[in-house]
Each structure stands twice: as C-alpha cells, then as structure tokens.
Amino acid sequence: MTADEGGLPDIRRDVPTAIHVQISEHIRLRIAGGEWPAHYRLKSEPELALEFGVSRGTLRRALATLIKEGLLRQVRGRGTYVTSTVIEPAIAQKLSTLSEDFASQGVVTSTVVRECSLISPPRPVAALLDLNPGERQVLRLVRVRSTTEGPVALLFNFVRTDLAPGIEKTDFTSASLFGTLEGSHGLKIATARRTFSAEAASPETAEALALEPGSPVQYLQQVTYLADGRPVEYSDVWIHSGRLRVTSLLLRR
C-alpha cells in the first residue's frame, strides 16, 4: 500500500481486499516504520475517517483489529494510542520535574545548559508532539543537572514553540522548564506519560554523567500534555543510578 504525494493513504476500492483491512495495514506500516512511535496519540476518529475517506464505522473496524492485535490501545476520554513494546506498570506519582523535587527536599543543584536552540524535530519527536515533519521548529534543550556529588541527570527536552514562542531566550541555568511554561507562557500542564527502563550508557551519556561507557543508567521518556490535551513537550532523561534513585509511592485502590 502506498500514499499519495500529500501523505494521504491510497485506499483501493477496485481490489478484493476489504477497505478496513487496507486501513489496518496502512496503520501497521506507519507504526513499523517509526512514523507513529510508541505512545503516539492518533487523531480523533472523525479526523482519521476523513483522512482515509471512509465512514467512521469502517475506521472503527480497522482500529478494533489493531487493538485486538495489541498494536493500539484506547483510553476513555483521552483517545487511541500506539502501544509500547515493553511492559509498563502504572506508577502513581506526582507530575514534577527533577529541579522541583530537589528544591522540595532542600538539595542544592546546579545546571549546565549544553544546547538551547531551535531545530526541525526528528520524525518520531514530531509525531509525539502532533507536528507534521518540517511543519515548524521546536526548542531543543540539552542540560546536565548536578548535585554536590557530581552530575546526576542528562536531559534532552523538545518543546513546541508555537505554544511557547520565544522560550529559547530563557536562561535555563536557573529557570525550570515547567515553571517557564506555566509562569512565563501561561500554559497549564495537566498530565504526562512516563516510561522507565534500564540502559547501558552511550559514550555521550557516559561523558555527561562522569561514567564509564556501558555503565548502567536509568532512562526516562516523557510526553507532557496541557489541560486541553495538546502535547507540549517531549523529553529523554538519563539518570546516574549510583547518585539518584527514583522512588514512587504506590497506592492500592
């Protein structure tokens, strides 16, 4: 199955393959090709039906197939998402940044900003931020956060500048990202999706965190959403496991 020059799916009505099957296959190809990465939120059903040129009933049959296969999942009131390939336990924790957590505990930290620039986002990042590739630039913010013991976290943040124009002028050696989005740009951050995993430190990560390449680090991936459901920020964070432990309060219903 191919797409036309505008990126729209090529649905064939002159072939024996059912239309809902063609749609399912087209979505599989988008997921397999990385165009729709894990945690990507699909457009609404009316928007997708219009994009594919089909009825909502046909679209729902296609989505139901992919949900049954485990490629998609639906969250009531939130939408349909591409599932992750790893098991993700539901962890109850507050939505805060490392700097906010350190400040609340009285831990003295310092921040070195390695990059604060406007770039065209990589395709997976653009998808998670609901942006079309090449549509607009985003802020790429790279920081190393340290305590008196040494560097504890390497942070890569990608922020939608259409929602926070001029944010690249902020001095992030002292300002927090969430504080800037809420205080300076009047945005209301409501929810985020966080994924934790263990990784071996790449040469870049190891250099930033003063580790040997291949040392174990904790990796955190996050997509942050505003109160109206729009994604505003995507981040990759690598944590020095020997200097910082991520602890969660678990609640049993």
In the structure, what pLDDT confidence band is assigned to residue 29 with cuts at 50, 70 and 90? confident
> 124-163 pLDDT, tens per residue?
999 999 998 788 899 999 999 998 889 999 999 999 999 9
The answer to whether residue 9 scores a pLDDT higher than 90 is no
Those residues whose C-beta lies under 8 Å from the C-beta of residue 72, and which sit 6 or more positions away, are 27, 42, 63, 66, 80, 81, 82, 83
Return d(Cα 129, Cα 95) in angstroms, integer: 18
Place of tokens 């390449």: 213
Strands of the 150-160 sheet, one edge to the other: 110-119, 138-147, 150-160, 231-239, 216-226, 189-200
Those residues whose C-beta lies under 8 Å from the C-beta of residue 12, and which sit 6 or more positions away, are 1, 22
In the structure, what pLDDT confidence band is assigned to residue 214 with cuts at 50, 70 and 90? very high
Residue ranges of domains in the chain, CATH in brackets: 19-82 (1.10.10.10), 98-239 (3.40.1410.10)
| pLDDT mean over 41-45 | 92
pLDDT confidence of residue 219: 92
Among 85, 91, 75, CA closest to 37 = 85
Cβ contact 164:231 at 8 Å: no
**In sequence order, what are the beta bridge partners of 115?**
142
Quick one: tokens of 87?
């098991």
The answer to whether residue 88 scores a pLDDT higher than 70 is no
- What percent of the chain shows pLDDT beyond 70? 83
